[in-house]
Amino acid sequence: MIHYDEKNQIFQIHTKNTSYVIGLADGAYPGHIYYGRKMEDARCGFLMRTEEAPFTPAVCKREKASFADTFSTEYSTWGVGDFRESCLDVRTAEGQRGCELRYQSHRILDEKPQLPGLPSLFAGKSKAQTLELLCTDEVIGLEVVLRYSVFEDSDAIIRSVSVKNKSEKPLALERVLSACLDMDQNGFEMISLHGAWARERGIVRRPVAYGKQSIGSVRGESSHQENPFLALVTPGTNQEMGEVYAMNFVYSGNFLAQAELSQFDRVRMVMGIHPQGFAWHLAPGECFDAPEVVCMYSAEGLGKMTREFHDLYRNHLIRSRYTHQKRPVLINNWEATYFNFNEEKLVAIAKEAAKCGIEMLVMDDGWFGKRNSDNSSLGDWTVDKAKLPNGLHSLVEKVKDCGLKFGIWMEPEMISPDSELYRAHPDWALHLNEREGTQGREQFVLDLSRKEVVDGIYEQISAVIRSADISYVKWDMNRQLTDVGNAVLAPERQGEIYHRYMLGVYEMQERLCHDFPDLLLENCSGGGARFDAGMLYYSPQIWCSDDMDPVERLSIQEGTALVYPLSTMGAHVCDCPNHTTGRTTPFQTRGEVALSGTFGYELDITKIAEEERAQIPGQIAAYHKYNELVREGDYYRIASFRENGVYDCWMSTSKDKKEALVTFVQVFAKPNQKSFHIRLQGLDPNAEYRLEGTENVYSGSLLMYAGILIPREMGDFKSRLLHFNRVC
Ligand code: GLA
């Protein structure tokens, strides 16, 4: 998969369908030559344009500035002539900034190394190889390893960067991004996932214009607003056609993702930890590891990119033993009761849920301290005896007696000013000296950059999990980071807190996974503010959004599924009118949209209308029937309500192409609308498929190339499932 052609000084990285080629200009500067369809010819060094003006430093030193400003580098540095976006910016003990990396040596490893303390892709059952380019700046004593890993069964290239101080003096890292991709190409459009609370990850597309266009987060989490995903696509790219260059960050904190079109019509795409608020003090001998970026190229449109990401994450990122298992159908009491519940109420919900086939009760926010609204008790992870007088163990046993498993909500990263914890340890909250803390949802953020805070909170939450038979934890994080400082770290290390905070979160979740291997963990952040590849390393599912309105969910789930597998998308059936939009939709539609995620209910099952409750057993039967297809299958986007304003359609096809499930939603009943014409994807053209519930048999080629008609219905928000089984 990875070769070094010594004669041409060319590194070739091959995946199933793609190639990535690196050269060494003057034998010293790692330059980007090619990324795209598989191409095995190593005689491509001329593409570095080292023969063209302004020539290379070896030929003509006086032109070095213009060389640096045009050269397609593998990793850009600040201070010696590359005026485009820098990935690395280093300040010396004397306060000077400038860095130039020269190739020293390389290694090709037959493995994929893990990054210490960080989420990191793994080889699993596949073969892996890694290219490590060791580069140095001898003047300041810096060593940089550029890493590129590939798996035999994937088109992904996983990049990361480690920076080591080999000098006798400290160095300050002002920024360390994780990946740089310079392309000698113009005309790209960029696709990102934009949103807000309750409308996360909408797909946004815009032309790449001259200058820089970036997305990012400086909120201390990957955020509702932008997701750490960026794709550059050739014009006209759709699901099935066009070239796609995508990057996805395996990180859950601040990030920057940017496309920059330069004076010579070249594009530089970068991704990494956002430099705003970041600084890292690198003492002699210390090393900094920048998180991984997954690079994905597809010559077959966005659909191929999506399916490659889904397979990659299901096989090489998510470690949970639930990844490839059907998750229990849960009922969560948040929208059913909010803070107003007690043991009796929860047991009543569990009893009714059991009758319908629901398999787990999740007790959401409000069970601890004295939390009757969101203004207190975060940090006091002990049961509120007013609500649960017999304690947690007794409640869990009662729920289990109903035949359900038990899950619990926690928000381990937070502290309420009104809490025993805050009264005992006010310094455990992130804070700036002398400055009054900024509250968000009446809470502060715990300083998880500190070991004693991580240990103290972990001790509390693990004690809760040990105290009863708890099968599931919903790990929430309901505000963004402000006042990012503490009185513990030295002044020159204060810029490390954002990243150290993330390392603290990762450490806690790592310990949770290690100590409770059977626990099903679902990450969450005020809905879907931390839906990223970093969290998927610890939890096989993430709460997608607090918005469960199935119409809103169409674009939320479409955007999420552009990158992340359906098996990871937390999706529940809500009550109506919906709590975020006030919209009323058919129970069937709520169920059929949620079926494309992890599936569960978030309503008061003891109070909903009988005709709705009566539909639950059927919905759960559908979940059991289709979940494997949805969870393990190939996802194809057929039509988008976002684009056509009327209907939405997607499908999952099993890997062996023996069955397929199509979900169709007529969002609006347009007057005088004829039947909808859709063309399926991912089937075997030569096979025959029967549409379940009918005698109709169609060839795969008919279904895919000619298509089928779906009758228009009267009324808005109507969904239907079409299940095709291969008959020969
Ligand atoms: C967040 C979550 C919700 C719920 C509340 C509880 O908003 O996304 O699902 O758990 O917190 O406070």
pLDDT tens-digit map of 575-606: 999 999 999 999 999 999 999 999 999 999 99
Q: How confident is the model at residue 439 (pLDDT cuts 50, 70, 90)?
A: very high
Q: Candidates 332, 374, 411, 476: which one to mutate for ligand 1, based on the most atoms within 8 Å of Cβ?
A: 476
pTM for the structure as a whole: 0.98
Neighbours of 276 (CB within 10 A): 12
Q: Does 630 score more than 90 pLDDT?
A: yes
Predicted pLDDT of residue 422:
98
Instruction: Give the largest CA-CA distance in the chain.
Output: 83
Which tens digit of pLDDT belongs to each residue from 688-727?
999 999 999 999 999 999 999 999 999 999 999 999 999 9
Mean predicted confidence (pLDDT) in 188-195: 98
Residues with a CB atom less than 6 Å from ligand 1: 334, 364-365, 409, 476, 478, 524, 526-527, 543, 546
Q: How confident is the model at residue 416 (pLDDT cuts 50, 70, 90)?
A: very high
184 among known catalytic residues? no
Calculate how far, in angstroms, residue 384's C-alpha sits from the geometric centre of ligand 1.
18
Predicted pLDDT of residue 647:
98
Q: Which ligand 1 atom lies nearest to the CA of residue 546?
A: 8
Residue nearest to atom 7 of ligand 1 (CA): 526
Q: Does 157 score more than 90 pLDDT?
A: yes
Q: How confident is the model at residue 53 (pLDDT cuts 50, 70, 90)?
A: confident
Task: Give the residue carrying structure tokens 């696709």.
Answer: 191
Beta strands in 531-667 (DSSP E): 541-543, 569-570, 573-574, 600-602, 634-639, 647-653, 659-666
Of the CA atoms within 13 Å of residue 356, those in its CB half-sphere come to: 30
Of the candidates 155, 546, 604, 648, the residue annotated as catalytic is 546
Contacts of 61 by beta carbon, 8 Å cutoff, 6+ apart: none
Of the candidates 153, 476, 549, 604, the residue annotated as catalytic is 476
Predicted pLDDT of residue 350:
98
Calculate how far, in angstroms, residue 476's C-alpha sits from the geometric centre of ligand 1.
7
Q: How confident is the model at residue 54 (pLDDT cuts 50, 70, 90)?
A: confident
The whole-chain average pLDDT of the chain stands at: 97
Cα 515 to Cα 459, 462, 509, 605: the distances in Å are 12, 9, 10, 34
Q: Which ligand 1 atom lies nearest to the CA of residue 374?
A: 12
Q: Does 62 score more than 90 pLDDT?
A: no
Mean predicted confidence (pLDDT) in 630-637: 98
Q: Does 629 score more than 90 pLDDT?
A: yes
- The radius of gyration of the chain from alpha carbons, rounded to an integer in Å, stands at 27
Calculate how far, in angstroms, residue 365's C-alpha sits from the geometric centre of ligand 1.
7
Helix axes 616-632, 587-594, angle to 10 degrees: 30
Contact 654, 706 (CB under 8 A): no
Residue nearest to atom 11 of ligand 1 (CA): 526
Q: How confident is the model at residue 177 (pLDDT cuts 50, 70, 90)?
A: very high
Contact 276, 179 (CB under 8 A): no
Calculate how far, in angstroms, residue 337's C-alpha sits from the geometric centre of ligand 1.
12
Which tens digit of pLDDT belongs to each residue from 328-358?
999 999 999 999 999 999 999 999 999 999 9
Q: Candidates 375, 409, 548: which one to mutate for ligand 1, based on the most atoms within 8 Å of Cβ?
A: 409
Q: What is the DSSP string of 238-279?
A: -SSSB-EEEEEES-SS-EEEEEEE-TTS-EEEEEES-STT--
Residue nearest to atom 1 of ligand 1 (CA): 526
Calculate how far, in angstroms, residue 177's C-alpha sits from the geometric centre of ligand 1.
32
Cα 285 to Cα 91, 170, 492, 503: the distances in Å are 16, 9, 17, 20
Task: Give the amino acid at 407.
Answer: G
Q: Which ligand 1 atom lies nearest to the CA of residue 527?
A: 8
Predicted pLDDT of residue 61:
85
289 among known catalytic residues? no
Calculate how far, in angstroms, residue 440's C-alpha sits from the geometric centre of ligand 1.
14
Mean predicted confidence (pLDDT) in 221-246: 98
